[in-house]
Amino acid sequence: MKNTAVYPGSFDPPTNGHLDVIARASRLFPRLIVAVTDNQNKTPTHTLEERLLMLRGITKNIPGVSVEIFSGLLVNYLKKKNARVIIRGLRAVSDFEYEFQLALMNRKLSPSIETVFLMPDEKYVYLSSSMVNEVARLGGSVDCFVPPLVRAQVIKKCRHSNP
């Protein structure tokens, strides 16, 4: 059985930091599923389908990577996909406590599933999807924060939502 990893997130929108973690994880695992979900604690700017299409577009040339929408309990999704590893990105120390709690909860729910933390390139540690959306809403350039395919969607969506 191939080792399959799942990189879950809301990816609203996918950033260069997300893409960096995807590329790193794809070198570690022969099969990587980027699992897009709605975070009930956030109000998304982009629909699930838009995020799915953006992620598929920016990962299409990365071997072993697929992108899917999922809902429900993450450990159940991993079992359904015959995956044993959760990929999580850590940008800063401030992310660690929350991510550590999630990893421990997932371990309690399913001891056979491991969480692997990956740090993006240091040039992306400050980057978040919410910051990208805010910069775009306020008319700033997001060119260095997101891949070109994502940039067009972010500008279209964010600039139209802020007349």
Residues in the chain, total: 163
Beta strands in 10-82 (DSSP E): 31-36, 65-69
Lookup: tokens for 46: 């982009």
The catalytic residue among 27, 42, 80, 159 is: 42
- Can the peptide bond before residue 8 be classed as cis, meaning omega within 30 degrees of 0? no
The catalytic residue among 10, 26, 88, 129 is: 129
Alpha-carbon gap, residue 152 to 139, rounded angstroms: 13
Does 42 participate in catalysis according to the annotation? Answer: yes
Does 159 participate in catalysis according to the annotation? Answer: no
The catalytic residue among 31, 51, 91, 151 is: 91
Does 81 participate in catalysis according to the annotation? Answer: no
Does 160 participate in catalysis according to the annotation? Answer: no
The catalytic residue among 18, 51, 88, 151 is: 18
> Which residues are designated catalytic?
18, 42, 91, 129
